[in-house]
């Protein structure tokens, strides 16, 4: 990589900026930088993901799989980059096609990308690092004041789709909801809005099991306690539906 000051450069810009016509002698200084591999991985992943819509999804998946990964930190950079891009897509739309495509790529290539370490006897795969990146993003944003509701929605929608795909356990959804609307939560109205958004994605999956259905019931009662008017605006919170689930 070559840089001019702080700016990474490529293509014809290198000749124009580094070797102007009135300067016959060119001095090149090579600087070794830490974390260059991680930065290369991040930039490559962002570039390839942006091609969805222009390239076929299978082509993009092949490009992502072909990114050169030699270290655990580079694998983490790939997972974090895709997580950030996926959450950003879901921030715009709960059912964003692009976000679902990003998520599908992670799920499909996780066994094809090399991994380097184990944790508790389990390989630290791309998917494991992707899930950890989601957790880190949620934990970081839940502490910010004022809460960035749009960014939080993107993260929660991603978590909801991961749960729907069977990649997050019911327990994690319960913990997230407690952070949003539990008795110790200080998010108030923002917490209710975010919780409602998450429930829209996970409700039908929760209701497939006895434990999940009980958790959904708990969410419903807490939401009505915080905002009674939801009984009129949210059909799933009607007395009839709640009674049927009891």
Give per-10-residue mean pLDDT for the chain (246 aa). 50 51 59 70 94 91 94 96 97 92 96 93 96 96 88 96 96 94 81 91 92 91 88 71 50
* pLDDT for position 14: 47
* pLDDT for position 145: 82
Which SS3 state, helix, strand or coil, does residue 9 take?
strand
Q: Are 161 and 99 in contact (CB under 8 A)?
A: yes
* pLDDT for position 8: 52
* pLDDT for position 4: 47
Burial of 9 (0-12, 13-18, 19+ CB in 10 A): middle
Residue 76 phi, psi dihedral angles, 5° rounding: -65, -40
pTM for the predicted model, two decimal places? 0.81
* pLDDT for position 184: 77
* pLDDT for position 15: 47
Residue 228 phi, psi dihedral angles, 5° rounding: -55, -30
Which secondary-structure segment (H or E) carries 119? strand 118-119
Q: Are 183 and 144 in contact (CB under 8 A)?
A: no
How far apart are alpha carbons 238 and 244 in whole angstroms? Answer: 10
């Amino acid at each position: 990589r070559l840089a001019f000051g702080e700016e990474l450069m490529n293509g014809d810009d290198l000749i124009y900026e580094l070797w102007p016509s009135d300067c016959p002698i060119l001095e090149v200084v090579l600087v070794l930088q830490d974390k260059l591999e991680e930065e290369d991985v991040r930039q490559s992943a962002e570039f390839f993901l942006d091609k969805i819509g222009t390239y076929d999804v299978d082509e993009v998946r092949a490009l992502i799989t072909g990114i050169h990964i030699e270290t655990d930190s580079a694998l983490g950079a790939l997972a974090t980059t895709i997580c950030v891009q996926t959450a950003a897509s879901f921030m715009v739309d709960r059912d964003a096609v692009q976000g679902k495509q990003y998520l599908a790529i992670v799920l499909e290539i996780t066994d094809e990308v090399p991994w380097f370490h184990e944790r508790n006897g389990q390989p630290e795969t791309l998917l494991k690092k992707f899930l950890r990146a989601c957790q880190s993003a949620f934990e970081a944003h839940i502490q910010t004041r004022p809460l960035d509701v749009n960014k939080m929605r993107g993260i929660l929608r991603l978590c909801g789709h991961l749960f729907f795909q069977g990649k997050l356990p019911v327990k994690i959804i319960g913990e997230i909801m407690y952070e949003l609307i539990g008795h110790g939560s200080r998010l108030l109205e923002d917490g209710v809005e975010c919780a409602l958004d998450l429930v829209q994605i996970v409700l039908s999956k929760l209701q497939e099991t006895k434990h999940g259905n009980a958790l959904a019931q708990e969410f419903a009662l807490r939401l009505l306690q915080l905002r009674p008017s939801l009984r009129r605006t949210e059909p799933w919170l009607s007395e009839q539906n709640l009674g049927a689930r009891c």
